[in-house]
Copies of this chain bind each other. A is one copy, B any other.
Amino acid sequence: MTTLKEVAKLANVHPSVVSRVLNKDNTLNIKEETRTRINEAINELNYSPNSAARSLKTNQSRMIGMAIPDFNNPVYSSIIHGAEDHAAMEGYHLLVYSMKQKGLGKDFFSKLLKERIDGLLIATSDINNKHILSLNETKKPFVLVNRMIQDVENYVILDDERGGKLATKHLIDLGHRHIAHITGPLYTGTALKRFQGYREMLQEKNIPFEVKYVQESDYTMEGGYQSMEKLLELDSPPTAIFAANVMVAMGAIKAIHDNGFQVPADFSVIGIHDVFFASGLSPSLTTVDMPLYEMGSRAVAQLINAISERKLKFPGETIDGANLIPRESTRSLLDE
């Protein structure tokens, strides 16, 4: 392992000069000639700095932690993807931790922040609020991703309300008037806002809101299945279902099929989040694509900014953008 000293020796300068070249330190002056001499030495020896030594000295690791609920959730895959790309772009590395059935002790993250990472992305609700607030003591920044809690401004979220409106609007535009909504857990901000979007769009289009068409569910396939069965039992069932996410949509479709009906012939179904297999489902699923990748990317950008500015707080950010991706699972009632 070649060290900075060896580079210095070969270039015939003092180690400190090499360090300044390495860090593009502009406050000190270095002759162009020596700079190139040093760079040649670096190349010749195939030198790369020891990051442990660097971390020790600068008290920065250029690593970012990220807590997610589950690796097997394509929504988080997209967020991670965006986060990782942006981190790489800025020379940071991402450490991802799944909370799934893991007894990561109470102070796992505060310890991690203390000793190893420069900041933390919290993209999971598995960490309770008190615990999150206690991270303030570490004096290192963290960002809530796709989640908000009281008294914490550092969040990056999506415009879920717009997502809910778009999904509902699509069904209305297709001529549906009896539109059910299978929600996510309503104690989560995302589910609540999608629900709000649904109500607002109904109102905007002068379609009466009917409580019987709303089923609170839990973002799972099983939940979607059960909720759909309840909707099927109604005297006048809906003709279209706005599912809070794709898992719920899949469960609902399964319930529809199991009860002898067809999608979209008998029921139109739309879900939030254009996961990678949405187009592969039979029928392919109409979705509202949310900018998950960008949310991950922006969250990292905000975090890195907070790290380098040594700020622990910044104003929350909402990522705009939600796109309807029409596919086979929704059908128009108008051209009949």
Q: Mark A88-117, 1 if CB is under 8 A from B, else 0.
A: 100001111110101010000001001110
Please, how many angstroms separate the alpha-carbon atoms of A95 and B279 in the complex? 31
Across the interface, which residues of B come within 8 angstroms of A61, CB to CB?
52
Across the interface, which residues of B come within 8 angstroms of A116, CB to CB?
51, 93
Q: Mark A52-63, 1 if CB is under 8 A from B, else 0.
A: 110110000100
Known: A56-B56, A77-B72. A284 touches B94 (CB 8 A): no
How close is A89's CB to chain B, nearest CB, in angstroms? 9
Q: Mark A280-310, 1 if CB is under 8 A from B, else 0.
A: 1111100000000000000000000000000
Indicate if the CB atoms of A97 and B72 lie closer than 8 Å.
Answer: no
Q: Of residues A50, A71, A85, A96, which shows the largest number of chain B Cβ atoms within 10 Å of its Cβ? A: A71
A148 contacts B by Cβ under 8 Å: no
A156 contacts B by Cβ under 8 Å: no
A247 contacts B by Cβ under 8 Å: yes
Indicate if the CB atoms of B253 and A48 lie closer than 8 Å.
Answer: no
Please, how many angstroms separate the alpha-carbon atoms of A282 and B282 in the complex? 7
Please, how many angstroms separate the alpha-carbon atoms of A102 and B250 in the complex? 32
Across the interface, which residues of B come within 8 angstroms of A282, CB to CB?
250, 253-254, 257, 281-282
Q: Of residues A52, A74, A84, A281, which shows the largest number of chain B Cβ atoms within 10 Å of its Cβ? A: A52
A221 contacts B by Cβ under 8 Å: yes
Across the interface, which residues of B come within 8 angstroms of A276, CB to CB?
72
Please, how many angstroms separate the alpha-carbon atoms of A253 and B281 in the complex? 9
Q: Quickly give the copy total for this chain.
A: 2
Complex: chain B residue closest to A251, CB-CB: B280
Indicate if the CB atoms of A52 and B56 lie closer than 8 Å.
Answer: yes
Across the interface, which residues of B come within 8 angstroms of A56, CB to CB?
50, 52-53, 56
A321 contacts B by Cβ under 8 Å: no
Indicate if the CB atoms of A281 and B281 lie closer than 8 Å.
Answer: yes
Indicate if the CB atoms of A81 and B72 lie closer than 8 Å.
Answer: yes
Please, how many angstroms separate the alpha-carbon atoms of A263 and B282 in the complex? 10
Q: Which residues between 219 and 276 of chain A lie within 8 Å of chain B, taking CB atoms? A: 221, 247, 250-251, 253-254, 257, 276
A334 contacts B by Cβ under 8 Å: no
Please, how many angstroms separate the alpha-carbon atoms of A280 and B74 in the complex? 14
Partner pick for A102 among B52, B85, B251, B277, CB 8 A cutoff:
B85
Q: Footprint of B on A, CB under 8 Å? A: 1, 48-53, 55-56, 61, 71-72, 74, 77-78, 80-81, 84-85, 88, 93-98, 100, 102, 104, 111, 114-116, 221, 247, 250-251, 253-254, 257, 276-277, 279-284
